Amino acid sequence: MRVRSLILRIVRQFFRDKRTLALMILAPLLILWLVALIFNGNTYHPKIGAVDIPRQIVTRLVNQGAVVESYSSNAAALNALSLQKLDAAISFADGVPHITLEGSNPSKSKTVLLLAQKVLLQPANPMPSQMQPPVIRYLYGSANMSSFDNFGPVLIGVFAFFFVFLIAGIAFLKERTTGTLERLMATPLRRWEMVAGYVVGYGIFTMIQACLIAWFSVGVLGMMMNGQFLYLLLVTLLLSMTALTLGTLLSAFANSEFQMMQFIPIVIVPQIFFSGLFSVDNMAPWMRRLSEIMPLYYGADALRNVMIRGKGFLAIWPDLCVLLAMSLVFMALNVFALRKYRKI
Amino acid sequence: MHGEQTSQLQPGIKVIHVDKKFGKVSVLKDITMEVKANEIFGLLGPSGSGKTTLVKLIAGMAEPSNGEVYVSGVRMPNLNMLNNIGYMAQSDALYSELTALENLAFFAALVGLNGAVRKQRIEEVTQLVNLANFLKRPIATYSGGMKRRLSLAIALLHRPEILILDEPTVGIDPVLRKSIWDELRNLSQSGTTILLTTHVMDEAEKCTRLGMIRDGRLIAVGAPDELKQSAGSQSLEDAFLVYGGVRK
Ligand SMILES: Nc1ncnc2c1ncn2[C@@H]1O[C@H](COP(=O)(O)OP(=O)(O)OP(=O)(O)O)[C@@H](O)[C@H]1O
Ligand SMILES: [Mg+2]
């Protein structure tokens, strides 16, 4: 009963604050959309300056997707390169191709080198006739899987986590700073009821947010989705729950909204690094194990299993259990932290 | 049961040898006092003397470092007892996005008021503090005095046996202050025990009994006239200075 009125109040408050509501619901969609625009774009066409190279090679470069421009001298090409009009310049000296790369962007350099290899090496050592071209099969994913498909699931997790963490944390903090929390402790409201009210009250918005993010990613942005939508929803929701409980817990250790923001570099950013957006394989093993205390790591793992590998409940239940357990621990700790306001 | 135990089952408030420390700083020192049922007991003292701290101990929001607090014979802090206590904090703790009515309804639900009873009580208390015409307005548009009045209304919602008011009339105009005091007297006559803090002398005069508090010590307790008499002074203000050792 008391929990119900607390939930009702939270929902009412949230609807009065349209801007925060929009931030929580729309901001993740906006950012996902922007990231999709950046990474889902067509494959890059490198700009190559050709200095005196055979016509057939130029044709082949163009066929491979390069934009080729002819230069009369090496100096002119290098000049264009330094002005960043080109990604690479190719010339021949004594029959040996020389490639000069602009080089400041490794992914562009890689694209150029790959392309140059295909074009320049093939005629020199054609495939021996007895060797068949390899048959390529993908266990998961496909040849035309974009990098957005690869880290999209992680991004869903990151944004679901980030906004819920911040908004729920600040809302709970506000209850402290305005003195209403202390006032509530002069009513028979129990500490666990307080925490439960927040979890359910914000949980409602978290649920809406999770549904929207999941639908938007798959339905609108066309992110690779090989598993069941229901599992995607379940993982997102549980991850948001962890963010919600962690945010409200950590708000106990902040005295102002500004201090709450200071948790972003401490709590959110490391999780993003360990969540699989970047490969951590080169990291010292003990450092790598840090990811085991990070909710986002489990969320991202489950999301990838569902979306890319199309796996079902059997593959994700350990992750889900960890997330659920973390949420429960955070809630219990929060109930304990409220002892600061009332011992019983 | 007999002796000490039975005496604690009486209504009213009992504070026995209470100390309160925040870290190493001692804020309340060996406070012993009693508020009898139906009394309006005023805590008078300068800023920072420990009034709010003492009142919070009694309202069960904090635990004394030493000593005991009993409300209606029940050792505080006690959750069930909180249903019998109406508390008005010194700083208004209201939800500014919500309307007055929504604030009232929320706090009413927390103390277990529902349905028709809740509606009726909300009407009564808002009438009392003269806010009936402003119920639909969000608190963000309220003046300081209006917020004070709403906080008082919330404290009165569930007809508590014990009413604890921390500087209830700050920012309230004389006319309304008088009607609030009339209501407090009514309540106390109908059986409510009232403990309030103030540093307004003319308000202190209206209390049944007063406790003077300074630097965390209770320096004198008694009816306003008694205090003036035994200090040999004309006004409570003088009496306070005498008890504080500032003036002979
Ligand atoms: N949570 C706290 N931590 C540390 N010190 C505190 C805390 N709360 C109060 N104090 C200190 O205890 C003393 C008494 O504070 P209290 O709020 O009880 O005074 P007060 O008599 O209510 O004053 P006022 O009339 O200004 O409201 C002050 O010196 C204050 O600094
Ligand atoms: Mg005070």
ipTM attached to this prediction = 0.87
Residue B52 near ligand 1, beta carbon < 6 Å: yes
Residue whose tokens read 């979306």: A307
- For the segment B204-221, the average pLDDT, to the nearest whole number, is 91
Length of chain A: 344
What distance in Å separates residue B242's CA from the closest CA in chain A?
35
Q: In Å, what is the CA distance from B159 to each residue of A137, A142, B120, B146, B187?
A: 76, 70, 12, 21, 9
> Each residue of A217-234: pLDDT tens digit?
989 988 888 899 999 999
Give yes or no for residue A126 having a pLDDT over 60: no
Are residues B194 and B187 in contact, defined by beta-carbon separation less than 8 angstroms? yes
Q: What's the mean pLDDT when you consider all of chain B?
A: 88
Measured between CB atoms, does B44 come within 8 Å of chain A? no
Residue B137 Cα to ligand 2 middle (Å): 28
Q: Residue A44 is encoded by which pair of tokens?
A: 């890059």
Q: Span A16-20, mean pLDDT?
A: 89
CATH architecture of the domain covering A47-138 = 3-Layer(aba) Sandwich (3.40)
Q: Looking at residue B4, what is its pLDDT?
A: 43
Domain residue ranges of chain A, discontinuous segments joined by +: 47-138, 147-340
Query: Residue A197: its chain B contacts at CB < 8 A?
Result: none
Q: In this complex, which of B78, B87, B109 lies closest to A186 when CB atoms are compared?
A: B87
Cis peptide bond upstream of A265, omega within 30: no
User: What is the number of other CB atoms lying within 10 angstroms of the CB of residue B150?
Assistant: 25
Q: What is the pLDDT of residue A123?
A: 54
Q: Which two tokens stand for residue A289?
A: 């194990």
B86 lines ligand 1 (CB under 6 A): no
- Ligand 1 atom closest to Cα of residue B90: 27
Token pair for A33: 């959309």
- B2 to chain A, minimum CA–CA distance in Å? 28
Candidates B52, B61, B65, B142: best to mutate against A (most CBs of A within 10 A) is B61
Q: Tell me how far CA of residue A211 lies from CA of A28, B44, B124, in angstroms.
A: 12, 57, 44
Spell out a b/e string for B163-197, using b for 16 or more CB atoms within 10 Å of the CB, else e.
Answer: bbbbbbbeebeeebbeebeeebeebbeeebbbbbb
Measured in Å, residue B50 CA sits from the centre of ligand 1 at 5
Residue B89 contacts A, CB cutoff 8 Å: yes
Mean pLDDT in residue range B55-66 = 91
Tokens of A4: 């119900």
Per residue in A310-342, pLDDT (tens digit) is 898 999 999 999 999 999 999 999 999 998 888
Q: Which of A122-131, A143-152, A229-238, B199-208 has the lowest mean pLDDT?
A: A122-131
pTM: 0.85
pLDDT above 70 for A129: no
